[in-house]
Chain A
Amino acid sequence: EPEVTQTPSHQVTQMGQEVILRCVPISNHLYFYWYRQILGQKVEFLVSFYNNEISEKSEIFDDQFSVERPDGSNFTLKIRSTKLEDSAMYFCASSSVLAGGPYEQYFGPGTRLTVT
Chain B
Amino acid sequence: AQKVTQAQTEISVVEKEDVTLDCVYETRDTTYYLFWYKQPPSGELVFLIRRNSFDEQNEISGRYSWNFQKSTSSFNFTITASQVVDSAVYFCALTSNTGKLIFGQGTTLQVKP
Contacts and interface: CB of A to CB of B under 8 A. Distances in A.
B45 A102 contact: no
Range of interface residues on chain B? 20 to 34
Range of interface residues on chain A? 20 to 34
Contacts of B78: none
A104 B99 contact: no
Contact of B95 (A42, A102, A112): A102
A58 to B, nearest CB: 8
Contact of B106 (A42, A106, A108): A42
Interface stretch (A13-21, A43-51, A62-70, A76-84): A43-51
B100 A56 contact: yes
B35 A104 contact: yes
A110 interface: yes
Contact of A109 (B44, B101, B104, B105): B44
B91 interface: yes
A98 B47 contact: no
Contacts, number: 66
A102 B102 contact: no
Contact of A48 (B44, B99, B103): B99
A47 B77 CA distance: 28
A42 B105 contact: yes
Contacts of A75: none
Contact of A110 (B37, B44, B104): B44
B45 A42 contact: no
A101 B97 contact: yes
Contacts of A45: 100-102
